[in-house]
Structure 1
């Protein structure tokens, strides 16, 4: 099967599909905790002003969560993959969290954790640490009131107000001491959100690491684990090696996840990844191999997904959500390629062409004929002719 795609210099060139769709292992049991950070499906027919008044297709959004649960994944809900802070506000997030928690109760073995942040508080409106604490408390109260588990997301407001490590410690100490259950922390790098530069009160990694570890040690009984998203395997391993017993590492490294999940023979990372939204069938099959002790089979399946992930998460990294939703459209999980905030426009046609090629090579086009038909339509809109 062939398709004409734009290439280097804007030249259109034929591409012959080579991949065989990887079949997931339904009912597989994993030896790693695997959270997929899930996207939301917009309703383009209801959006009259997609930049400022996003409308969600709740049926398709929930259907995608069932897809992930069927493949054995836990869901990290209302995280940055769902465009929190980039077109998807706290009002919509509350509805998403409420619906997802209710939906999870209908599925045997389903699990999810939801993002608690401060995004309803504009960074410019935050004057004191108490403002930030109050904002976190409001979101924690909502999630815990629904019977959910919280992921304590990094806060733009805290980054704007904090003067140093002690301020971060004060906020995290307060929130963790009050949490009703165990919490997952999230260290999100500024490549994902430039407003988080210098998070933990320092631009120096070693100093920030000391701050994080000290917070976790003080609250080890309240911290299930920490997700680190710095796209640097060495930094993740450095934190992983210092975690107290009973606190787990969740890799958020969408560049180096296969080796971090597999581990070094001593320690390994669990996973909380946006890329799992896009590569769920292959990740499922690979994690099933790893659970069976078949490291070579795990590596063979995961390795082709890495170039795809690196392309989707290329700089400017914060626009990776466009590639995630593009993959869902190609694979028939939604009928359109429209996003809240119009974010599909954040990447160009050559980027999407590269994602298409790499998805094919990784065995991630579930129905190649459908994927080709949809890619041709996108190319036609962009002026690429056969």
Structure 2
């Protein structure tokens, strides 16, 4: 069965006459648990919930591949999922290798908390597999490809092989690509981590994240971290996510197609100094991305001359919603340097292509670019 069919049907209930096609959220804190708690499927909501279970099964099916099955745990946010991997795996004296251009919040977490608790932090850029030089004696390699927001690409399989030789665990932040667009576990990663508030659920209305792994021992460690720290997802959010995931194949195909068209259009405009999108043959990581990604993603970045040009472009665009985050059905864009933390020009714009008609988007961007000449 093809991926899109599996995903679209992942939330269906068994075909029992008279029952609804989709189950609703289960709201409970305690559950009936007489006798030995080990005999009850559910006991207390900080540990498990039936709606989580359905969502975790759906995501695990996406994360699985030929010859292996993945297991998934959902969290209250992508950062909660990231923290779970760091917290469950790293101990004082361990070293973690992190992209120097990884998602800003992940870098702050590593620098301001784990490094101050005795974790050695090593950083190198995502591009050209630079992190491979820092693996000796490390405990965890953290990858992010495409990187956010600079869209750099690294070779997941090659870095996993290098890490395996050194006895290093590998986690991949797969937020930008999603599990439908890229399967890190199939390329040798120990963990696939994502913020599912973005393209995975795609409606810009919930926060959640997940960690997937093939290794049951690692799964147990992540599960214990979630239970003890309480970074859990509410049942309503889990149900909304399960409902939203069913449309992922449709949304991702359209938004990635739009992103490709937008990137190609921007390369023709003299106001645009550079365009970063792995789907462009001119992108330095295009060949690797084409090998390891099923879709090139909904996110692209480009640079205008300066801050004023970027702000004018965003102000004059009628169909670009100025907002942070990405992966929604609505096209969004922002001048990313306004947040700080990334080594990018003042005129750098990160855009997330939505599902609108591409003709409307291109016409709108053209008129807005015309006004900054």
Bin for the TM-score computed over the shorter chain: 0.3 to 0.5
* Structure with a larger share of its residues in helix: 1
TM-score norm. by structure 2 comes to 0.33
TM-score norm. by structure 1 comes to 0.32
